[in-house]
Amino acid sequence: PPALYAPALNVQARCLYDVILYRLHGSTAEEPHILLECDSSVLDSIQKHLKLYKIRRKVTVTPCPDLSLWAVIPGEQPGDASSLPKSADQALLLTPDPRAEVMGWRLIAKKGANLSEIIPGSQVGDVQDYHRHRYKQGIPEGVKDLPPGVALPLESNLAFMNGISFTKGCYIGQELTARTHHMGVIRKRLLPVRFPAPLPSPGIPEGAEILTESGKPAGKFRAGGGELGIALLRLAHVNEPLCINLGGDRVELSATTPEWWPKAAAK
């Protein structure tokens, strides 16, 4: 595939980083070039992590500051999800987002490229529009949504996002991940949450405890913006009224199960 989503795990099978890998060479005869998309705030850490496993292989790991990354989000109209224009001559890479169809496409181009020429009729939004779309769909991304050494891949729905293989060989964290999968017991999951109104700055602190109406612990808030966010919640409490105590005030919120999930997962 031209793009592949994957997390790097530690020995406790918890996420360190999540990345999207892009294949740039067209045939096996060419020198392999892999472009790796990551959270820019951990660029140095990821480079150190990759170089640790390079051993004596002739592998070069270097940033690409001359490239820009764009998310091409499908519109609200029916048919938009499959009607991407093919006039992408200026693009280095234009490929479906490997995580979920609702995330549209990933576009990599040279810095300064004219986006309206690459995708005629498109509208350029800002990064907050992108994050709002992610939170609405319950798609985690980066170290805020997947705290290093804390987030578990199955609780974070990475198996739904084509981020985990249960058939490949051994990898760091594989045994615990496979055991949890085959036991079939996942009591908590990352879910999109919504507040009745946009929250005033500075918003909800990361890791804030979410409670049921009766005061039972229901989960923890991970990240968000405006009235949308993502939280790790106990599935037993998903359909109950939920709240967060914030500076003496009670902030209500509700959770939903994403429509793009496999049908059996919503149970």
Residue scoring higher pLDDT (198 or 143): 143
What does the domain layout of the chain look like in residue ranges? Answer: 3-125, 154-255
Percent of the chain with pLDDT over 90: 61
Residue scoring higher pLDDT (114 or 229): 229
- Residue 216 CB-half CA count within 13 A: 10
- For the cut 80, the answer to whether the pLDDT of residue 46 exceeds it is yes
Question: Is 225 within 8 Å of 141 (Cβ atoms)?
Answer: no
Question: Is 13 within 8 Å of 28 (Cβ atoms)?
Answer: no
Residue scoring higher pLDDT (84 or 183): 183
Sign of the Cα torsion 205, 209, 212, 218 reads positive
Task: Give the pLDDT of residue 135.
Answer: 96
Task: Give the pLDDT of residue 57.
Answer: 86
Task: Give the pLDDT of residue 27.
Answer: 65
- For the cut 90, the answer to whether the pLDDT of residue 113 exceeds it is no
> What's the whole-number mean pLDDT along residues 26-35?
76
Question: Is 101 within 8 Å of 139 (Cβ atoms)?
Answer: no
Percent of the chain with pLDDT over 70: 91
Question: Is 230 within 8 Å of 188 (Cβ atoms)?
Answer: no
Of the candidates 212, 225, 158, the residue with the CA atom closest to the CA atom of residue 15: 158
Q: How confident is the model at residue 133 (pLDDT cuts 50, 70, 90)?
A: very high
> What's the whole-number mean pLDDT along residues 178-197?
90
3-state secondary structure at position 259: coil
Minimum mean pLDDT range among 30-44, 127-141, 169-183, 250-264: 169-183
Sign of the Cα torsion 49, 91, 115, 134 reads negative
- For the cut 60, the answer to whether the pLDDT of residue 208 exceeds it is yes
CATH number of 154-255: 2.40.30.160
Q: How confident is the model at residue 72 (pLDDT cuts 50, 70, 90)?
A: very high
81 φ, ψ (degrees, to nearest 5) = -70, -20
Sign of the Cα torsion 202, 188, 240, 101 reads positive
Task: Give the pLDDT of residue 61.
Answer: 92
How much is the CA Rg of the chain, to the nearest whole Å?
20
Q: How confident is the model at residue 75 (pLDDT cuts 50, 70, 90)?
A: confident
